[in-house]
Amino acid sequence: MPKEVLLLYSSQARYRVPREILFWLTVACTLTLVALTITGDRAVAAVPELVAGLSGVPDLPPVLQGLGWRWSRGILKGIQEKLDHFEYLNIKSIWISPFYRSPMKDFGYDVEDFRDIDPLFGTMEDFEELLAEMHSKGLKLIMDFIPNHTSDRHRWFNLSRTRDPHYEDYYVWTDCNASAPKPNNWVSVFGNSSWTYDEVRGQCYLHQFLKEQPDLNFRNEHVRKEMIDIIHFWLKKGVDGFRMDAVKHILEAAHLRDEPQVDPNKPPESITTEWDLYHDYTTSQLGLHDLLRGWRAEMDSYSREPGRYRFMVTESYDYHEVDKTMMYYGTPLVKESDFPFNFYLLDLPHNTSGLWVKHLVHLWMGNMPRGQWANWVVGNHDRPRIASSAGQTYIRVINMLLLTLPGTPTTYYGEEIGMENINVTDSQIQDPAGKYNASASRDPERSPMQWSNDMNAGFNNKTNTTWLPVHPDYRTINVQKQDEDSVLSQYRSLSKLRQSHLPLHRGWFCYVHADASVFAYLRELDGLNQAFLIVLNFGKESVATDLSSIRELPDQLEVLMSTNQDNRGKVLQKSRILTGAGEGLVFEYYTHTRFNPNHPTQCYISEKACYLRVMDILYTC
């Protein structure tokens, strides 16, 4: 085609405009790629899978939560009927305690068959329907995995005690007889010796919990393979992850030596509780983390499908030995759990002060390996309910702390409405720990969920009884009774606030103040001018907090949320922020001055991310 013809047609609008659009699109794409290359190694989604899937993980024991909803149909059906409650609260994942087939000597933690559902809970079909319904609602199901022991009714144990060649060493056996002293001074978590003589085999077996819960021998390669196969069985069913129970007990020293006494002058025969010994040979043994990392690798093979990340959390009460807990994160090169459960906030009631709360928070944040994800627990099935131990005055401010800290908040059922402990008489005790020592019973915090003011709090309308008494206050404290100013309504608002604002679930966490009453911190994100100040009063009286020394804060701050509805929307001077006892405030403010660059020792972030407004994305920076 002649040049003159090309020039004639190329100047026409129908040819010129598309050409110019393509040109500028090419330029824009090139500039975007250059900008992303300069600002970070990769762009990241606004919410990573772990965060999206676990913005709140309720510890929901089905033996408590579901019992009696549809007694004739099974507890799993009862849980399925209440899924709307979790959607309403913006909960993303539900941890369900054991529902394996079990003699129920320890509420399902004594497993008779890892591949079957106990009739108390329903059938495998019920489980599959529950899981499908949860997934259809965008909810994830976390199962309890109990590797340390089985029930003494498990097929493996019966074969082991008769010395079947394959199963002979599936458990920890040693020579002893019925009348002679036990092999060593090891003590069960529930009290008294960890050894029980078995007449069939003529030896003693180890049980770090009840005598009906014999410990598996993880030095046996067949046992290790059996447990991996069980993990695969449930992952193939579609479960979204596991809470690994009592992991520090999985291995014990092969030499079986006596453990050192806490009080060396105490007569050996009077050693009857776990607190009498240093557990140098029965917990956190060499090889434990290799086992857990192996399980993590097996689970990762199921996480390759988009949107189907498989989650792993470990449970280990390490108390003051926080370094041991942090080891469950793994290493920079080898991943272990997504996080170990953080139980330090369970000690909140010991000292209601801002300094104490900061100390407990910093125990985790100051020791957590760089780049890892935090988590927070303020109540569970082993500890008194926070509303009873700390008091109703503080339940709202504690929930505000839980839902504004960085990481994953974990809520024990009933905390979202402020449930309290029940009184349990000796004749009503169900807990094995309580049967050994009534003062150690965990039954008071395990009462039925209070759904309504109907019979049995709406928990069981089929019979006139429940397995534990319903709290007498169920007529005034229940899900149905909650109004706009209720504990439940506040919990929901905080959960939604957390999800909808990047600084609260992906941003920096910075300490700004702590004293005898108040604990205050900031949540901010690089590249985003929105930030939040959280001021929490854990003291016993009203106080005015002066934050005028924090130059990054604006002089005036507007209350976005308060545990006291009357204070919402108020504008306060940063030099005088007034809070009542048990009150929490969330301030939202806008600034281009970040706090974290000038205070690196006061600030923490899991994975540093910056916000690029032009493209509305986060990127590593």
Catalytic residue among 152, 212, 215, 245: 245
49 annotated active-site = no
Catalytic residue among 118, 152, 315, 431: 315
Name which of 363, 330, 370 is nearest 344 in CA terms: 363
Are 415 and 494 within 8 A, CB to CB?
Answer: no
Burial code of 146-167, b = ≥16 C-beta within 10 A, e = fewer? bbbbbbbbbebbeebbeeeeeb
Tokens linked to 357: 């709360």
Tokens linked to 517: 């009453």
> What is the separation, in whole angstroms, between the first and last Cα of the chain?
52
Secondary structure (H, E, C), 273-324? CHHHECCCCCCCCCCHHHHHHHHHHHHHCCCCCCCCCCEEEECCCCCCCHHH
3-class SS at 107? coil
315 annotated active-site = yes
- Which residues, other chains included, contact 272 with Cβ-Cβ below 8 Å and sequence gap of 6+? 187, 191, 192
Tokens linked to 273: 């509780």
CA distances from 163 to 158, 206, 264, 467 (A): 9, 16, 38, 39
Q: What single-letter DSSP state applies at residue 259?
A: P
CA distance 128 to 582: 43
CA distance 188 to 183: 14
Are 469 and 422 within 8 A, CB to CB?
Answer: yes
Are 386 and 400 within 8 A, CB to CB?
Answer: no
3-class SS at 379? coil
CA distance 79 to 480: 17
**Catalytic residue positions, numbered:** 245, 315
